[in-house]
Amino acid sequence: MSTAVLLIDDDVKLCGLLKTYLSGHGFKLDVSNTVRDGLRQMRNQDYDVVLLDIMLPDGDGLEVCKKIRIDSTVPIIMLTARGADEDKIIGLELGADDYLAKPFNPRELVARMKAVLRRKGAATESSFKAIEFEDFYLNAANQKVLIKGKEIELTSAEFRLLKVLASNPGKVFTRERLMDLVQGRDFDGIDRSIDVHISRIRNKIEPDPRNPRWIKTIWGTGYRFQQ
């Protein structure tokens, strides 16, 4: 059975090339050239992966990512011709799972898609036991996080990061190691993306994000989870 992929990109030539290439690697690619059509297709069909260009003729791909994340955890890979670190960081902050700068090798895109699908499958099928400390509860089997009994909505990337930290209480992780574990690929030097994720997680789970109870900053090194 083919993996359903939605590509939202106005580069007609690129869309045609990817449609042909991906079909030979087990992916069924649907193409939308506008924000409006892309969101319509998202409403009408379930997709396994979304490939989302940042610069679109009728809107901003970053805003589309934000809209998708309101009610969907589908893996999102941002495509950007600008290649600016700020775009990548904002994309991750809004809930994207990965990013790829244009021009790119289609083989790398396939590898990235397989990686996000593996991570999603591992999170869904994991037999990892629930973690519970005082008011904190995390269950990887159903990707649920509760703080004082209240369910917290996290993106897939935020959940993976919190799971890594919470399953190793007291252990200090460098930003590089967290990037490697969470993104499923070698660290690329943009360690601020981890800081962005940590900030968003703290805003969601911490009573006082400026004086965090759970996720502690180890200055000059990285982060650890406080049991």
Q: Which of 87, 122, 157 is the last residue of a domain?
A: 122
pTM above 0.75, yes or no: no
- Domain hosting residue 186, numbered range: 126-225
> Interhelix angle for 61-71 vs 85-93, to 10°?
20
CB 8 within 8 A of CB 51: yes
How buried is residue 108: exposed, middle or buried, by Cβ count under 10 Å (0-12/13-18/19+)? Answer: exposed
pLDDT in tens, 202-214: 999 999 999 999 9
Q: Which amino acid would we find at residue 31?
A: V
Q: Which of 122, 149, 176 is the last residue of a domain?
A: 122
Please check whether residues 167 and 95 belong to one and the same domain: no
Of 48-52, 121-125, 185-189, 222-226, which gets the smallest average pLDDT? 185-189
- The Cα–Cα gap between 137 and 131 comes to 6
Separation of CA 106 from chain center = 20
- The Cα–Cα gap between 207 and 135 comes to 11
